Chains A and B, each alone.
Chain A
Amino acid sequence: MDSSIVQNVLQGIFSAAFLASILRVATPILLPSLGALISDRAGVINIGLEGTMLIAAFTGVVFSAYARDWFAADIATTFGPWFGMLLGVLMGVLVALLLGFFHLKLKASLILSGIAINFLGQAATVVVMYELTGDRGTTQGGLKSMKMPFIQLPEFLSDIPVVSFFFKVFDNQSVMTWIAIIAVFVVWYFLYRTPIGIHLRAVGENPNAAASVGIRVQRIRYLALALSGVLAALGGVHLSMGYLTFFQNNMSSGRGYIALATPYLGGGNPIGTGFAAFIFAFFEALSIRIGTLDIPSMLPQMLPYIATIMALVIYALQSQLTVRVRTLRSAEGEMFDASFWKAIQQLSVLHMFMAMIAVLGIIVCLSMYSAPDGFKSLVQGWDESDVRVYGGVIGLISLGLILVNLPFMLKVERIGHKIWYSAATSIAALWLYLGLLLMLFLRTTALKEVSGIGGIILGLAFAAAFWVLMGGRYLLQNPRGTPAAA
């Protein structure tokens, strides 16, 4: 193993093809994530997404296969996949409504009946699959399913310099991927710009208050569950008909559970949820891509989950901070310095993210310690003790970064009072991360020779600019902060 393989992997990661594969992997996470988001915002989080996905994936396969027999050949080839998708979505809605019926009507525990739906989805698909195909593993032998169409972008786009990169990313993606991307914006519009969406969020915030102003809570919740069923079903259909043409036992493999977490990682809004889904997809695609490197594949698989926990923490800390700022605002009235607090809030997020990435660094360090064999191949001539030494260095640096950032997380006013110290810690951390990333990126481009110095300079520039944009400029204008904040 030599560095040329590392080089190959790096080139693979910083490429349009990798981005395209992230899109592909993200689709079945993104769609149910949006479903989880809608149901969560209505206060009835749909735990049964996993089972819903399985049932929809299976239904899609079955009915698109039957469409061949039921319709004329030319109609079947055009509309067969859509017919399968439609029925898959219909089943998804039915399953979600079943959950709704048990929770809303029969007062069953939402979480436990969601778990039951997951059991049901996993088992019922196998039972019916066995009935139809005589096979318990896949439908490959018995049912000839169809594939959802792929979208080809107009060819001329590939000739335009910058657009050509995006052309490579988005060209020849499944229509389901486009549906997923569009769904992000549709869901955003629905939640924030339509009356029903606003009612839905009101119900989630406080059902009693919503009911008192005449919103029909039960009906909204049924609707939210049904919508989450639609989105989860679309994700399921993508699994079985997006790139494959068959159903496999338990093929959602936990994506329905990941989808429960992404809204939290994404800060509870559709756009953030979309990014969160892409983070999961990135790590999933990464763990496939670095397969050639012998790095334990569990490590990249583990990271998004840890990131989610971190995001939960950040989310919680931020909402606590928001409450505090609100209290301060009402207490101080005229004296309240809004721009100062806005800057503080934004910069505290930066500190938290820096600490969060450092925690990931500690995980990497632990992995290097517990599985040194896997990392040996990373650099030519490394042996186990080298891996452990470098792991230790990474761990120490990460620990240091956490420690210097921690005071600003625990007491956010410190950001305003010790601007330069705060700026130094966050910029240093950001510089380190960005610099490393840029170095790796530059190694894959023509600027390979100057990748080291280029990474350092560009990293510093980006980090400083980012700090200024995140709120540093307010603090620079008003270095002390308001006296009342102390």
Chain B
Amino acid sequence: MTFKLSRQQLQLLTVGIIAALLLVGAISWKAYGLSADMSPREMRDAITATVDYQAILFVNLLIGFSTLLMIMQLRGDALRVLLTVGVALIFGYLMTMLFNLDASVVFSRGEFRVSLLSDAVPLTSINYGDELTVELNDPRAETPITEVTHHFTGTAGDVVSVLAFGAERRSKLNMQLTLLDNAGNVLQENLDADDAQKRTFRRYLQSDGDAVVEGFVLPATGFYTIIAKPEADTADVNAEFTLALLSDNAPPVTLAYGSDPVGGIFNKEKTDAPLTTATYKFSGGKGDMVTILAYAFRGETDLDLQVTLKDANGEVLAANNDASAEQVESYRPQLKSTQDAIIQNVILPADGIYTITARPEPLSSSAQLRETVRATNKAYDAFLFGPLSRLNRWVIWIRDALTLIMLGLAVAIVFRAEQFSLGSEGQLYFGALVSAIIGLYFGNVPKTILVPMALLSAATAGFLWGLLPGALKAYLGANELVSTLMLNTIATRFYEMVLTFQLKPPDAGYTSSEWIPNNGLLAPIIDVNGDQITIAVFILIALVLLAWVMIQRTPIGYEIRMIGANIKFANYGGVNTRRTIMLTMAISGAIAGLAGAHLAMGIHRKLILNISVGLAFEGVVVALLARNNPLVVPFTGLLYAYLRTGAQMMERDANISAEVVRIIQAVVILLITAEALVSLFQQRRMKQRDKLMSSQGDTPAPAEGGA
């Protein structure tokens, strides 16, 4: 076989080598965790400090080589494949944006607190539900208390009861109560509670001397004054008494100077009526200087708050969206970021009830869009660069790629003969089952014998499970699509049955087999904290080469290609189409069986339920992208596995469902298989070329190869 490169091939080779080297460099750079500010010496140390760094370099070189092969094999089509993936990625980006349309919700969701600070003496000193205990006539005090005056805020129509009673059961105190309005008019007075009242307020009233104002209906909204003092006969008695203000109505004010912060959760998820605005009231005296803080509770939320202060008439006195950096500094620990809001040192103009409104800051649509794009970019960053961000993710990528490449090869071979067999899934299950059973039951056989034996058995199982639909198709004309779909389910159920009833240890909590003993596992060449890349790499290289040689350089490969091109022609040409179709499907099954063995012996190291969730369908995408060319499958398998791993990272890091990748997958399939799409463009290009040529009178350029 002579090997002579034409100029065009030489150009391609150059482009390919450059692309491959760039890719190897970029991936290695990330995998070894290098950065631009390292000195060459540091870089060398970083590389040699990485576990199995030679093997990593080897695998990366293989990736580069697969790229070179792809470019050399697909030529012009390589561009189309990459373009399709690019278009699909853009589509996926738009989808991710759809996911992130509500990304800005993080600014309006979360737990918050509102604090009211003031040095002023509070205008009111008692609130609904309060019980205040005071010692009268304390001889030790400098100015003994002889009477108590309290102010409270009430809403018109509230029903209040005021009680004054001795703190001890046998208190000698005899109290009297006066309720006044803001102007000082006496509304009600009481000296002693009667028996009925004592029964009603049994919890509170202790003795005959206690006083009560029962069930008083407040005539207007405003301030009221309570005066409690001992009646004249016990004016000098030193004793404690308690003043209680009771009402079933909601207190008109919920905040007081320096009281504990109040708050809640804005836009809590999964609630029927999420809180969007929080309103609090407080009683303010004229000239009081108040400071209001509204802040996200617990620092890690992105909640962005705004706060408004209104007076009793609803006039806005002050409002704030964001605290300044100095304000944040001076009001630590409450304020944590400038997204918190603060109304600082406002002097109240009059006595009255003031309203504080706290709510998430409304966002402009441009800000929302910006946030959506930001979140999408973050997600796509995880998607596109996630697999390289850590070495174990790199391992997961390569490991999954190995399985996918094997499946891609399996699918490519049958698709080459235009047989739409989707049986790889079932063949994979059987391969996994058989290899694991051999590993589990012959664990003491030396590795050098056991591993080839397990692999061979897996391949045989897959071969036979592929032979079946092959024979059905070839000799009975049974639709291979339907029969393979049926056989997939049968294989899956059979696998589940054997796993559940035979392999599962009786005491195991969940359905899985025991660990396959070390002798039955593929030997690792890279091991990053238990995530391994195994010698399956070498098996795969051999498989790719064998598949290529089989298709391109053997009689059966020639027959496969002929059947794929035109089965009737192949038949007339003397090809035993039946035998070839059957064999093609069986060989594809053998490779799929090996993929199953890789899952069992290389990745999971035991059998689990759902060992493959539709992996075979992904093998279809891999084969399609590679245009069913075994030499291109490694690259497309790597590419596709990269997207898959990236999607997992995106799901983990950015909380975007990996479903987006399925959509990308669908778009890729539709665009790649749409043959007419290409000819549409080609026709246009040819027309343009014709126009150019006719205008220049040039000789027609030789037709491009490939396509």
Contacts and interface: CB of A to CB of B under 8 A. Distances in A.
Interface in B88-128: 95, 98-99, 101
A482 to B, nearest CB: 27
B293 to A, nearest CB: 31
Given A108-B674, A108-B675, A127-B663, A316 B477 contact: yes
Nearest to B487: A309
A108 B476 CA distance: 27
B494 interface: yes
Contacts of A296: 497, 500-501
A348 interface: no
Interface string A360-381: 0000000100111110000000
B657 A312 contact: no
Contacts of B660: 123, 127
A126 B659 contact: yes
Contacts of B657: 126-127, 130, 136
Interface in A94-121: 102, 105-109, 111-113, 115-117, 119-120
A109 B422 CA distance: 14
Interface string B479-507: 10111011101100110111011100000
Nearest to B482: A261
B485 A106 contact: no
Contact of B666 (A123, A264, A316, A320): A123
Contacts of B101: 131
**9 A-B pairs closest in CB distance:** A371-B501, A123-B662, A316-B476, A106-B674, A116-B669, A119-B666, A120-B666, A108-B673, A298-B493
Interface in A145-192: none
B669 to A, nearest CB: 4
Contacts of A372: 501
Interface string B46-90: 000000000000000000000000000000000000000000000
B617 interface: yes
A439 to B, nearest CB: 27
A485 interface: no
Interface in A229-277: 254, 257, 260-261, 264
B485 A261 contact: yes
A127 B95 contact: yes
Contacts of A298: 493-494, 496-497, 500
Contact of B665 (A111, A119, A367): A119
B666 A106 contact: no
Contacts of A123: 659-663, 665-666
Contact of A260 (B99, B269, B481): B481
B270 A141 contact: yes
A122 B667 CA distance: 13
Contacts of B494: 298, 302
A309 B486 contact: yes
B676 interface: yes
A313 interface: yes
B420 interface: yes
A107 B674 contact: yes
B449 interface: no
A47 interface: yes
Interface residues on A, range: 35 or more
Given A309-B490, A372-B501, 16 more contacts: A117-B666, A122-B662, A123-B661, A126-B657, A130-B657, A257-B489, A260-B482, A261-B485, A264-B479, A301-B489, A312-B478, A312-B483, A312-B486, A316-B472, A367-B497, A373-B501
Contacts of B663: 119-120, 123-124, 127
Interface string B607-628: 0000000000100100010000
Interface residues of B, number: 48
A119 B422 CA distance: 15
Given A123-B666, A316-B478, A371-B500, A115 B659 contact: no
Contact of B98 (A131, A309, A312, A315): A131
A112 B677 CA distance: 15
Contacts of A122: 659, 662
A131 B99 contact: yes
A105 B665 CA distance: 21
Contacts of B666: 116-117, 119-120, 123
Interface string B579-620: 000000000000000000000000000000000000001001
A254 B489 contact: yes
A113 B99 CA distance: 25
Contacts of A136: 657, 659
Contacts of A254: 489
B472 A374 contact: no
Interface of A: 45, 47, 102, 105-109, 111-113, 115-117, 119-120, 122-124, 126-127, 130-131, 134, 136, 141, 254, 257, 260-261, 264, 296, 298-299, 301-302, 305-306, 308-309, 312-313, 315-317, 319-320, 367, 370-374
A134 B101 CA distance: 12
Given A106-B674, A127-B660, A131-B99, A257 B485 contact: yes
A205 to B, nearest CB: 15
Contacts of B481: 45, 47, 111, 260
A134 B99 CA distance: 10
B99 A302 contact: no
A136 B651 CA distance: 12
B670 A102 contact: yes
A298 B676 CA distance: 44
B482 A264 contact: yes
Given A370-B501, A371-B500, A105 B676 contact: yes
Interface string B661-701: 11101110110011111000000000000000000000000
Contacts of A370: 497-498, 501-502
A400 to B, nearest CB: 23
Nearest to B620: A115
A264 to B, nearest CB: 6
Quick one: which of B498, B502, B674 has the most chain A CB within 10 A? B674
A124 B422 CA distance: 23
A374 B501 contact: yes
B427 to A, nearest CB: 15
Contacts of A115: 422, 617, 620, 669
A123 B624 CA distance: 20
A441 to B, nearest CB: 27
Contacts of A105: 676
A370 to B, nearest CB: 5
Quick one: which of B99, B489, B677 has the most chain A CB within 10 A? B489
Quick one: which of A308, A312, A367, A374 has the most chain B CB within 10 A? A312
A58 to B, nearest CB: 13
Contacts of B661: 123
B620 A112 contact: yes
B188 to A, nearest CB: 51
B369 to A, nearest CB: 16
B497 A308 contact: no
A91 to B, nearest CB: 16
Given A119-B662, A123-B662, A370-B497, A108 B98 contact: no
